[in-house]
Amino acid sequence: MAMSKIGEVVLEARGLTKRFPGVIANEDVSLKVRSGEIVALLGENGAGKSTLVKMIYGLYTPDEGEIFVKGERVKFHSSRDAIKAGIGMVHQHFQLVPVFTVAENVILGDEPRRWPFVNMKKARDEVARLAEQYGLQVDVDAKVQDIPVGAQQRVEILKALYRKADILIMDEPTAVLTPQETNELLKVMRGFADSGVAVIFITHKLREVLTVADTIEVLRGGKSVGTTTPGESDQASLAQMMVGRSVLLTVDRTPSKPGEVVLDVAGLTADNNIGLEALRGINLQVRAGEIVGIAGVEGNGQRELVEALTGLRPSTSEKFTIAGLDAAGKSPHDIHEMGVGHVPEDREKDGLVGPYSVADNLVLNRFDEAEFATRGVRNRAAVATLARGLVEQFDVRTPSIETTVESLSGGNKQKVVIARELAADPQLLIASQPTRGVDVGSIEFIHSQIVAARDRGAAVLLVSAELDEVLGLSDRVQVMYDGRLLAELPGEEADRDRIGRLMAGGDA
């Protein structure tokens, strides 16, 4: 994408520091953004990106440092102050009213009035004008609940533009978009910059940064570790800045050698948490020695699929077997006993017990095995021996195996889960979002462990919202949309555009 004409500095943060109990979220961070410039704020979860922009947007008060907008020093007491100063923020998690129309959502809280009524014609016309001006294709009369996720993202952007934002903060805006929607959004961002809007783009996706940014600011551990540009960088150098060492960004794996069918499911159905059908007749097979990846925009039944297969959610099926044994109606513990390892998408809620030690978390699903308990009494020595070995093998950075797992970083928590599930040498590994919220270095390690499990003969079902992860690891790719598996592609034939069309419910 061509670089826009960049003007004067419109936003400057000088030496911002923010402390929370027990942690320094940002330490002496400075940032400059010019009109017509896209500044990518790059860093892994926990690097301090969100804390920084929340200070700029008035949601947090800096403990130290200053913020200048258009040359004037400002002190924001709320987001309302930031909006008045021309700063808008598009949040990662949409803040929309589903039963309202697009126009109603955009004007909510800032309605044009024909006293004492809201002037809806004026509001609708203004929203339509903004949508056309900035190339944000959306039906202003449609209810938000009836439009796709990509269009909802555009509504969030329109909310900020309607409030006359000329400094726009976008927090992980591509997290729930298909590849095509992501590409469209990047074009829209470039259009903003070309019209003079200053954009701060928060992400951890290296490809997007190199595609759209003018300037790249990298944070690590709450500190700024460097400023660069796409012309001076590549994915490898950016990854090194993010984690402090060189990182392999591609997975080194040999062709798979599929064996016998391990997971065999036909006609699987299940409801979501509010009783609506979430799985609509899933047919799926995973063989020993292969990785089958499930691609799709989040919310299309992936969570329910994983929970049904691991016994966490009631389901019905024509067939559900693991290594030839009937698994229908089995409890999670029964499923584990059948040789299934499960890496849940939410490690905090479903994968770990925070106040327990690292050692105890490493035997959470094996506590009743004879090796670790005798007549109901925990064999502490055996647990400690296992834990020390796994901590070393899986490079878990912890002061001690007796350290509470809640005190570890996100990447090390995930390594504890991976270590526990792989230590039992499962014949089927179900890995859901296995690298969510972990740094690039930990991603590299976790990917290598998943491939190693495949090479030892495990059948692996990988469910991930990160399309690059699915493409990089999978021997076969299935695309999930609206509770159905739409198509299967061999790993070597699966490309981003084709999968992106399927993820949006289209034809391959």
Q: Are residues 219 and 269 in the same domain?
A: no
Q: Give residue-wise pLDDT tens across range 193-224.
A: 999 999 999 987 888 899 999 999 999 889 99
CA angle 483, 486, 492 (to 5 degrees): 130
Q: Select from 243, 276, 293 the last residue of a domain.
A: 243
Structural domain contains residue 367: no
Q: Select from 243, 269, 287 the last residue of a domain.
A: 243
| Residue 305 or residue 243, greater confidence | 305
Q: Are residues 342 and 461 in the same domain?
A: yes
Q: Are residues 69 and 201 in the same domain?
A: yes
The SS3 assignment for 432 reads strand
Structural domain contains residue 413: no
Q: Select from 176, 210, 243 the last residue of a domain.
A: 243
The number of domains in the chain is: 2
Q: Are residues 164 and 95 in the same domain?
A: yes
**Residue 132 burial by CB count (10 A; 0-12/13-18/19+): exposed, middle or buried?**
exposed
Q: Are residues 108 and 195 in the same domain?
A: yes
pLDDT at 508: 58
Q: Are residues 237 and 265 in the same domain?
A: no
Contacts of 101 (CB under 8 A, 6+ apart): 140, 141, 142, 143, 144
Q: Are residues 93 and 206 in the same domain?
A: yes
Structural domain contains residue 209: yes
Q: How confident is the model at residue 2 (pLDDT cuts 50, 70, 90)?
A: very low
Flag whether pLDDT at 3 surpasses 80. no
Run of H or E residues at 444:
helix 440-455
Q: Are residues 23 and 125 in the same domain?
A: yes
Structural domain contains residue 312: yes
User: Which of 135-149, 236-250, 380-394, 427-441 is most confident?
Assistant: 380-394
pLDDT at 109: 80
Rounded mean pLDDT of 107-117? 76
* Domain that residue 74 falls in: 9-243
CATH number, domain with residue 43 = 3.40.50.300
Q: Give residue-wise pLDDT tens across range 10-32.
A: 999 999 999 988 789 999 999 99
Rounded mean pLDDT of 487-496? 85
Run of H or E residues at 332:
helix 332-337
Q: Are residues 315 and 437 in the same domain?
A: yes
User: What integer best gives the mean pLDDT of the chain?
Assistant: 89
Structural domain contains residue 418: no
Structural domain contains residue 50: yes
